Amino acid sequence: MALLRVLRIAFEILRFVLGNALQRIHLLPSKPPPPERLRLGLERLGTTFIKLGQALSIRRDMLSDDYVLALQSLQDRVSPFPAREAIQEIEIGLGRPIAELFAEFDETPLAAASVAQVHTARLHDRREVIVKVRRAGLKAQIDRDMRALCWLARVVIMLVPRLRHYQPLRILNEIRGNLAREIDFRREAQNIKRFVTAFAGWPTLMIPDVIDGFVCETVIVQERSDGLRIDDPAVRPDGARLARNFVEAYLHQIFVLGAFHGDPHPGNLFITKDGRICFHDFGLIGILDRATRRKLAAFTSAFIRQDADWLLDAAIDLGVLGGEMDRGEFRCGLAEILADHVGLPLKDWSLAEAFLRVTRLGQAQNVFVPLDLLILMRAMFLAENAVRVLDPDFQLLETLQSKGAEALKAAMEQADWRGTLDRLKFDALTAAQDLPPLARVFARQLLQEGGGLGLSLNVRELKGLNEHIDRGSNRLALSLVTLGLYIAGSLLMQHSIGPRIFGDFPLLAAFAYALALWFTSRIARGIARSGRL
């Protein structure tokens, strides 16, 4: 079964690659285009690859916009599984019969997706809830498919070494870990609790809470909430107020809370009857520590003030630009990005678009954007789209200038200064205790070395110099041995020394040539892996 699955995955990969090649030389119709063909191939491969494509859709730093759009449109709606399987998973996961858990349980699913399906129910205390149940065997299926995909990726890298530049195994392992967390409903419950607590006093937002004691790895039970999707025409009359509340909520999440909803598409945003914005599905969230929030605030401020030098420093601090760079060249690229926004109406300014273009400047330096910043970029694009759905004339820049400053100030005010001072005090006491022994060791060394003082210098940039020198000398030695084997084989051929094989071919010469060819392949593979001649 595992071998058949590997062959099926390999077939779809080969089908996509050959199809692209044949389209380029006009031996296949140009429709569907490659991004659409990739989407269809992933859907044919099933749940794991649908989720894989959705995870890849956040890699705007590596994929073009047409591929991102195609992957975001992957259909995650599939036929529901039988109610008896759902009930069995619930009873196994929560450890009680369904009749003890719920006063009423609707066996007809409210919605079904590739990972789970949702049922409505009523608790014994009369509260209306929704029950999200994971498909049986899903975890094992994802693990099996990801192992097969990683194995195939290693084979492809061996055949096409330049693909190593994109670190496909690193990306696949990152996605594999994220998928494991996404399908664990205990983690989603923790995320929900965090947001419920953070927005408990907000009259403009609603987060349906988790029902305590009704959560396990495969099942999560939440309060039920109803409302209109944000793209429902009935919401439009109140769109301006809702857009303002939505932006304020996201500024608070990013700059104050340090955790944000990573998937704010219209299907996850509802407007309740009392006019509150309701967030659903907390399987994907991003986490920003305080240092990253400060750097992000600097990036936002530089963008608003159209300061290319400040924007460059902020991008380097965030880690979206780096490596060996010509600051003048990058400054010109950033100035061009800012100039493009100056010519737009204020309502069309996009911080997400600017952030994306800056990250793509770093592609040539082999800079890989941290995952949480990629999730942030996805959330920014979806959030800006949601704002424009609610209010097409919303002035995003004005809100960033006013509310953004307030959010940053609140973030600075919540800093744990007492904790910082306590740590400084502890470190100072520790250093004071360690100082006398260090002084004795230092004095003893001076006496033993006759008053001389040894100095050890560690240059960070030369940290791997010895390793590189050893590798280079080994290659040089192997190259000389290989050259000697070729010469020896030629001399043995010329003088016909030793026993013969295949008629008149000297055995010793054949052995020398074979060994030389093997050494040559070793040298070539080593150079290909390093990417340098």
Local confidence band at 532 (pLDDT 50, 70, 90 cut-offs) = low
Q: Distance between CA 155 and CA 379 in Å, rounded? A: 34
For residue 135, being part of any structural domain is answered with no
Question: Residue 84 corresponds to which tokens in the numbers above?
Answer: 């008896």
For residue 349, being part of any structural domain is answered with yes
Which pLDDT does position 445 carry in this prediction? 67
Query: Percent of the chain, pLDDT > 70?
Result: 77
Domain final residue pick, 379, 397, 427: 427
Q: In terms of C-beta density within 10 A (0-12 exposed, 13-18 middle, 19 or more buried), how is residue 43 classed?
A: middle
Contact predicate 320/362, CB 8 Å: yes
Domain final residue pick, 164, 181, 198: 181
Which pLDDT does position 93 carry in this prediction? 93
List helix spans (H) across 57-125: 65-72, 83-94, 98-101
The more confident residue out of 427 and 100 is 100
Q: Which residues are catalytic?
A: 263
**Burial letters for 420-452: b for 16+ Cβ neighbours within 10 Å, e otherwise?**
eeeeeeeeeeeeeeeeeeeeeeeeeeeeeeeee
Size of the chain, expressed as the number of residues it contains: 533
Domain limits at 368? 239-427
Lowest mean pLDDT segment, chosen from 96-105, 208-217, 302-311: 302-311
* 407 and 360 belong to one structural domain: yes
* 366 and 287 belong to one structural domain: yes
Q: Rounded to whole angstroms, what are the CA distances from 342 to 222, 298, 307, 346, 384?
A: 45, 19, 12, 9, 18
Q: Distance between CA 240 and CA 243 in Å, rounded? A: 5
Which pLDDT does position 505 carry in this prediction? 67
* 159 and 264 belong to one structural domain: no
The SS3 assignment for 179 reads: helix
For residue 25, being part of any structural domain is answered with yes
How many domains is the chain partitioned into structurally? 3
Domain final residue pick, 181, 205, 228: 181
* 423 and 490 belong to one structural domain: no
Local confidence band at 425 (pLDDT 50, 70, 90 cut-offs) = low
* 416 and 295 belong to one structural domain: yes
- SS3 letters for 133-169? EECCCHHHHHHHHHHHHHHHHHHHHHHCHHHHHHCHH
* 390 and 482 belong to one structural domain: no
Local confidence band at 85 (pLDDT 50, 70, 90 cut-offs) = very high
For residue 227, being part of any structural domain is answered with no
Q: Distance between CA 255 and CA 292 in Å, rounded? A: 9
Which pLDDT does position 65 carry in this prediction? 81
Q: Distance between CA 17 and CA 12 in Å, rounded? A: 9
* 417 and 482 belong to one structural domain: no
**Does residue 498 register a pLDDT over 70?**
no
* 160 and 283 belong to one structural domain: no
Local confidence band at 416 (pLDDT 50, 70, 90 cut-offs) = low
pLDDT in tens, 35-57: 888 888 888 888 888 888 888 88
Which pLDDT does position 185 carry in this prediction? 92
Which pLDDT does position 323 carry in this prediction? 63
pLDDT in tens, 349-405: 788 888 888 887 766 555 567 888 888 888 888 888 898 889 888 877 777 766 656
pLDDT in tens, 239-251: 889 999 999 899 8
pLDDT in tens, 461-487: 555 556 666 666 666 777 777 777 777
Most confident of 127-131, 163-167, 304-308, 439-443: 127-131
* 10 and 57 belong to one structural domain: yes
For residue 83, being part of any structural domain is answered with no
For residue 192, being part of any structural domain is answered with no
* Mean pLDDT of all residues in 66-74: 82
For residue 228, being part of any structural domain is answered with no
* 269 and 358 belong to one structural domain: yes
Output the average pLDDT for the chain.
80
* Mean pLDDT of all residues in 448-465: 54
* 285 and 170 belong to one structural domain: no
**DSSP state string for 419-440:** HHHHHHHHHHHHHHHHHHHHHH
Which pLDDT does position 168 carry in this prediction? 81
Contact predicate 55/68, CB 8 Å: no
Neighbours of 262 (CB within 10 A): 22
For residue 197, being part of any structural domain is answered with no
Which pLDDT does position 502 carry in this prediction? 61
Which pLDDT does position 309 carry in this prediction? 87
* 332 and 265 belong to one structural domain: yes
Place of tokens 């000389």: 480
Query: Percent of the chain, pLDDT > 90?
Result: 20
Contact predicate 337/357, CB 8 Å: yes
pLDDT in tens, 260-302: 998 888 888 999 998 999 998 888 888 998 888 888 888 888 8
